[in-house]
Structures are given as structure tokens and as C-alpha cells.
Chains A and B, each alone.
Chain A
Amino acid sequence: MSPLLMADITVFLLSLLVGFEVISKVPATLHTPLMSGANAIHGVVIVGVMLLAATATTVTGYVLVLIGAAFAAMNVTGGYVVTERMLAMFRPRREEKP
């Protein structure tokens, strides 16, 4: 095993644990926005597609980049916009408090 892989595995495992720790406290009220927000975060796959584009030199490669970019961009923009829309509805309404 290379040191690089070792470092990657360490990062992966620790992030997994941080994820469990941070998310297990989210109340049921916010589960849908949480899932939608997490969904937007995996839109980071767009960074992967950009890195792939940097190495693509064949027609097959270009086609894969094209589809991948469309998928990832849809994921990341749609994910954040829809989460924003949902959370905007969760504002407290003080006038209705007794």
C-alpha cells in the first residue's frame, strides 16, 4: 500500500466518523433538508469531472466529460437551490407565538 492510499483511507474514515457525529444530532424536522443538503454536497463530483476533463484526449473521453458535467452540474445547482427553497420556509414566525 502506498503512503498516498494510506492517507486517502485515513481521510475517508475520519470524514465518515465526523459525518456520523455531526448528522446524528439533526432533528427529525430537518431530515428532508438534511438529505437534500447532503445531496447537494455530493455535487462536489463536478470537481472530479473537471479533473477528468483535464486529461481527456479522445472522443470517448469528451463524450464522457460532456455527460458527466451535465449530470454533476444538475446535481450541484439543483441540490443547493432546492435546499435553499425548503429552508426558507422554516423561518420562525414570531407573531404566531403565544
Chain B
Amino acid sequence: MTTFDTAIHLVYLAAATCFVLGLHLMNSPGTALRGNRLSAAGMAAAVLATGAVLVRDHGITVWAVTALTAGAAAGAVAGLITARRVPMTAMPQLVSLFNAVGGGAAALIALGDAVQRSQEAGTPGLQTTITTVLDVLIGGVTLSGSLVASGKLAGLVPGRPVTVPGGRWATVLLALATAGLAGLYLTGRTGALGLSGIGVAALAAGILLTLPIGGADMPVVISLLNACTGTAVAMAGFVLDSSPLIIAGALVGAAGAILTKLMADAMNRSIGAIIAGGYGTGDSAGPAAAVGAGAPVRAITAEDAALQLAYAHKVVIVPGYGLAAAQAQHETVALARALTERGVQVSYGIHPVAGRMPGHMNVLLAEADAPYEQLKDLDEINPEFPGTDVALVVGANDVTNPAARRPGNPVSGMPILDVDRARTVIVIKRSLGHGYAGIDNELYTRPGTAMLFADAKKGLAQLLAGVREYAA
């Protein structure tokens, strides 16, 4: 090993260290920003070191340099513009889009490597070919799957589970075709062409697998796809024998796997059942016909609700998907601030799956300047409900259903926010429509619960106006 090689390897090692430490600093909101910058510095170092290798080796052709710089410039500009402009509510689809292109790039590396090898004499060893096939397969599924997920989150693709006629059979056929082509490729009977076939099959499979998954399952799906991209990048690292890719890929794979598990647990569903899809109506609100059905509920006017809030000692706000959909985070925080100014103790009880991606609700509330000390997760907030005067539920449904404590219904065993243990509960909701589990919420018919039938944004604005009146 020459001095130059040693130096490059040390830079790569330092970059990998930066990635690990950067992730470690994400443990607390106070240090997270530093963590991201450290990780970015490691990335810059790795890119510069690789640039130095290319310059020193002289092997690269002028056309390759042109393709590399032109592509990188275009991609960097596109990434910068979208990242700066995106509103926080649209964050999940953007993260999903970045995930798609990452997976796509990983798959292209394996494909490009195979194209190049076919120009040279000698056959690559099994260790290269196996990882090449895995990279193209996982990267391809991630590329198209993340694009569909991104489309669903952005509303470009219907959020409800879309069943493709014969979709399951098509998936099986694709799997068989992939297995066949992989066999041919591994035994050296086909080259880059067969590999492209695997890529096409993987792209089709990604679409078929993601379309039937409902919009409400998206936090799990994007976590899973994130793990897939990490794995694909690690495979690309095996193909190129590049340790930064292997390390970073494995780190991301682990992160995605943990989040997938956390999200699936928080929804009380197995990962397998989510991938099988077809569950729930996803984004859409329940049918309007459900209003007034079943047991009687107590409606409340905005004035009365504001009075209760204004004279409470302790209020817990429980935001849910409806708040994110109505983009009412600013109204929520304005109300919380008005209450805090009156001396009311306010906190937010945030369920792990509130929003459209893991932790999305926290980002929305942070954007609206909610102090993060007030943001409490499930385990922190649940013991506080018995001492709470008013629990204000905004656009959350299944995650507050006390039926989850009993066995024998679709939400059984799901971790819920114990809002029913608060002295009174006020629910802001447009109608009595079902949540995505498709069952009645027993919370709404309890004697201590009052319903404020309104759109989240309008209802909160009315409450705020009401509270301000009492402040005068």
C-alpha cells in the first residue's frame, strides 16, 4: 500500500466515523444539528478523496468526466432547489423521492459495473455476481416503490389501496422471471442484458408491491424502503469493494429497520400484513353517512370549548393525521401559546404514527415554533392524563380509541394515548367518520367527551378567538 492509498483509506475511515458520530448526535434536539453537519463534512471528505483518486489514476476518460460532472451538477441543483422549497407538510414525499434516487443510483452502479466487466476478459467471481444481482434487485424495487409511495403521499397516486387485477400472480411471475435470470447470470450464461431484465422486473415488482398499500400505512412503508436503499448501497459497496459504501449502507439499513419495527408496533400490525396491503381506506375520511349513527354523542360549541380551555389548569393537545392534512399546525401552536400566556400548563401528546412519516408531527409543530420541551411521546404523556383538565384531540382517531385495551377488535393491543383518563375531552373532528381501522371510536360516546364538529383549521381558529376573549 502506497502512502497515497493509506491516506485515502484513512479519509474514508474518518468519513465513516463522522457518519456514526453524526447519527449518535441525533439523540438529542440540542446536538442534532451538529450531528448533521458532522455527517455532511464526512461526506464532503469522502467525495474529495475519491476525486483525488480519480485525478491520480488518470484512467478516467474525458467522456466519463463530462458525464459525471454534468450529471452531478444537474442532480445537485435539483436536490438543492427541492430541498429549500418544500413545505414541512410535504416532507415525507420528498424524503421518499430522495430515497428513490438513492436506490436507483445504487442499482445503476451494479449495472454499470457489469457492463464494464463484459468488456474485459475473465469472468467475475461469484462474490461479485451475487451482490450485483442483489443490488440491481433491491435498488430497482426501491426506486419504483419509493416513487409510488412519494406519489401517494403527494396525492398524485390514489392514497387508497389500489388493487391491480392479477397483481399477485404478476408478482409471482416476476419473482420467477427474476430467479431464472439471476440463475443464468450467476452461471455466466447471460451478461449485462440479463441483468437489465432483472432491473426491469424489479421496477415492475416495486410498483406492484407499493400500489396496494393504503396511505395510512406509509410511515411503515417509507421506513422499510429506506432500509432497502441502505442495503442496496451496501451491496454496491460489495460490488466495488468500497468500504464507505458498505458502512454507510449498513448504518442506513439499520436505521430503516429500527424505524420500520417501531412504526409497525405502534400500529399494532405485522410488517408482513402491511406489505400484503389492501387494508383500510388510507387518506380519505370516513363516509359522511356515519354522522349520528350509533350511540348519542355530545356536541359542543366553540365558545363553550374555549371557556373550558381558558379556565383549565392543565391541557394536553393530541394532534393527529387530520391536523397534518388540514395544515393546522400554526393554529394549534397559536392556541397553545394563548393558553400558556393565561397560565395554563400546555403539552402535546404525540403518538408515534401521528403524521405521515415517523416523527412527522414533531417536525410540523417545531416548524410552528412549538417549544420541543412541550412535545411529549406516548410513554411520557400517558401518566399525565389523570391530572389533566382538558385533553384536546385534533384530527386523531384510532390512536385514542379505548377499545384498544380490550381484545377482539381491529385496534386491540395497539398502544393508545389515554385521553379518556383526562377529566374532560374535546374532540375537533369534521364528522363521526371512521378512522382507518374502520371501527367506531368509543371515546366519542363517553359522557366526558364533547365533540366540536369542524375542520381542524377553522375549529382551532374559533377556539383561539374564544380564548382571546376571556384573556381580555
Instruction: Tell me how far the C-beta of B43 lies from the nearest C-beta in chain A, rounded to whole angstroms.
Output: 6
Say if the beta carbon of B27 comes within 8 Å of chain A: yes
Stretch from B56-64, B279-287, B417-425 that touches the partner: B56-64
Alpha-carbon gap, A79 to B119, bound state (A)? 35
- Are B23 and A22 neighbours in the complex by a CB distance under 8 Å? yes
CB-CB under 8 A from A28, the residues of chain B are 262, 350, 352, 358-359, 362, 377-378
Decide yes or no: A19 and B255 within 8 Å by CB, A35-B358, A37-B39 being known contacts. Answer: yes
The A interface is mostly helix, strand or loop, or mixed, namely helix
Enumerate A6-37 residues with CB–CB distance to B below 8 Å. Answer: 8, 11-13, 15-20, 22-37
Of all chain B residues, which has the CB nearest A21?
B254
Enumerate B117-176 residues with CB–CB distance to A below 8 Å. Answer: 119, 125, 127
B interface residues, tally (CB under 8 Å): 123
Residue B39 contacts which of A40, A82, A89 (CB distance < 8 angstroms)? A40
- Are B377 and A15 neighbours in the complex by a CB distance under 8 Å? no
Alpha-carbon gap, A66 to B64, bound state (A)? 8
Decide yes or no: A47 and B245 within 8 Å by CB, A72-B105, A90-B33 being known contacts. Answer: yes
Stretch from B72-80, B431-439, B441-449 that touches the partner: B72-80
- Are A51 and B242 neighbours in the complex by a CB distance under 8 Å? yes
The listed residue with most B CB atoms (<10 A of its CB), out of A24, A61, A63, is: A61
Say if the beta carbon of B461 comes within 8 Å of chain A: no
CB-CB under 8 A from A74, the residues of chain B are 75-76, 78-79, 82, 98, 101
Instruction: Tell me how far the C-beta of A96 lies from the nearest C-beta in chain B, rounded to whole angstroms.
Output: 5
- Are A69 and B68 neighbours in the complex by a CB distance under 8 Å? yes
- Are A93 and B116 neighbours in the complex by a CB distance under 8 Å? no
Interface readout for A40-52 with B: 1 if CB under 8 Å, 0 if not?
1111111111111
Instruction: Tell me how far the C-beta of B141 lies from the nearest C-beta in chain A, rounded to whole angstroms.
Output: 15
- Are A61 and B115 neighbours in the complex by a CB distance under 8 Å? yes
CB-CB under 8 A from A29, the residues of chain B are 29, 350, 359, 362, 372, 375, 377
- Are A27 and B98 neighbours in the complex by a CB distance under 8 Å? no
- Are A37 and B36 neighbours in the complex by a CB distance under 8 Å? yes
Residue B71 contacts which of A4, A65, A85 (CB distance < 8 angstroms)? A65
Of all chain B residues, which has the CB nearest A23?
B255
Alpha-carbon gap, A15 to B331, bound state (A)? 43
Say if the beta carbon of B241 comes within 8 Å of chain A: yes
Instruction: Tell me how far the C-beta of A29 lies from the nearest C-beta in chain B, rounded to whole angstroms.
Output: 5
Say if the beta carbon of B248 comes within 8 Å of chain A: yes
Instruction: Tell me how far the C-beta of A82 lies from the nearest C-beta in chain B, rounded to whole angstroms.
Output: 4
Of all chain B residues, which has the CB nearest A13?
B250
Alpha-carbon gap, A56 to B102, bound state (A)? 20
- Are B101 and A15 neighbours in the complex by a CB distance under 8 Å? no
Instruction: Tell me how far the C-beta of A71 lies from the nearest C-beta in chain B, rounded to whole angstroms.
Output: 4
- Are B61 and A57 neighbours in the complex by a CB distance under 8 Å? yes
Say if the beta carbon of B236 comes within 8 Å of chain A: yes
- Are A73 and B72 neighbours in the complex by a CB distance under 8 Å? yes
Alpha-carbon gap, A60 to B367, bound state (A)? 45
Instruction: Tell me how far the C-beta of B5 lies from the nearest C-beta in chain A, rounded to whole angstroms.
Output: 14
Residue B60 contacts which of A26, A43, A53, A89 (CB distance < 8 angstroms)? A53
Say if the beta carbon of B237 comes within 8 Å of chain A: yes
CB-CB under 8 A from B371, the residues of chain A are 92-93, 96-97
Decide yes or no: A34 and B237 within 8 Å by CB, A41-B248, A72-B75 being known contacts. Answer: no
Residue B109 contacts which of A49, A63, A75 (CB distance < 8 angstroms)? A49
Residue A34 contacts which of B79, B101, B234, B359 (CB distance < 8 angstroms)? B359
Of all chain B residues, which has the CB nearest A36?
B95
Alpha-carbon gap, A60 to B117, bound state (A)? 13
Instruction: Tell me how far the C-beta of B9 lies from the nearest C-beta in chain A, rounded to whole angstroms.
Output: 12
Instruction: Tell me how far the C-beta of A27 lies from the nearest C-beta in chain B, rounded to whole angstroms.
Output: 7
CB-CB under 8 A from A52, the residues of chain B are 109, 112-113, 116, 240
Enumerate B82-109 residues with CB–CB distance to A below 8 Å. Answer: 82-84, 86, 88, 91, 94-95, 98-99, 101-102, 104-106, 108-109
Known: A29-B372, A54-B59, A67-B104. 8 other contacts (CB 8 A): A23-B251, A27-B28, A42-B102, A53-B54, A62-B67, A68-B108, A68-B109, A90-B32
The 4 residue pairs across chains A and B that have the minimum distance between CB atoms: A19-B254, A31-B359, A78-B79, A69-B71
- 12 A-B pairs (CB sep. < 8 Å): A17-B254, A18-B254, A35-B357, A37-B23, A68-B104, A75-B75, A78-B79, A79-B83, A80-B43, A84-B36, A86-B88, A90-B32
